[in-house]
Amino acid sequence: MKKFIIIGVAAGLFVAAVYFAFVYYVPYSEGYRSGELIRMSHKGVLMKTWEGELSQGVSGSQIFRFSVLDTDQKVVDDLNKFQGQYVKLTYEERYKTFSWWGESRFYVTAVEKESSPFKYK
């Protein structure tokens, strides 16, 4: 009986490790989004995560919500620096997220300042 319990626990741990590795290392999609960076915040009570929003148009329905992993401190610093400006975000979409990663399945991996296509005179 002990042997079956040990095998069952080991199999459960193996399945959990494979699931976690798949969710962490295999992106669902990758891409770019451009727009005005309208919000960047450090949210949470127990598990703080970086969350942001990018406005891609005039309407409130064109808001791109994203998260940034804590390990990407350069990305967090750049996003805080470019607050309110037009930026281009490079992101990965994951199959699933965990609460300690963020609220969104979209994770920004790079940010660069762009010139706005809207010319003000």
pLDDT tens for the chain, 121 residues: list them. Answer: 888 899 999 999 999 999 988 887 888 889 999 989 999 998 888 888 899 999 887 766 689 999 998 888 999 999 999 988 899 999 999 888 777 777 888 999 999 998 877 766 4
Q: Which residue has the tokens 């770019």?
A: 32
Alpha carbon distance 112, 1 (integer Å):
59
Cβ burial of 109 (10 Å; 0-12, 13-18, 19+) is middle
Write down the pLDDT at residue 102. Answer: 78
Reported pTM: 0.76
Helix (H), strand (E) at residue 15: helix 2-25
Q: Are 83 and 111 in contact (CB under 8 A)?
A: no
Write down the pLDDT at residue 120. Answer: 60
Write down the pLDDT at residue 59. Answer: 63
Write down the pLDDT at residue 117. Answer: 75
Tell me the C-alpha to C-alpha distance, in Å, between residue 64 and each of 8, 14, 20, 58: 42, 35, 26, 13
| Domain locations along the chain | 27-113
**Domain 27-113: which CATH class?**
mainly beta
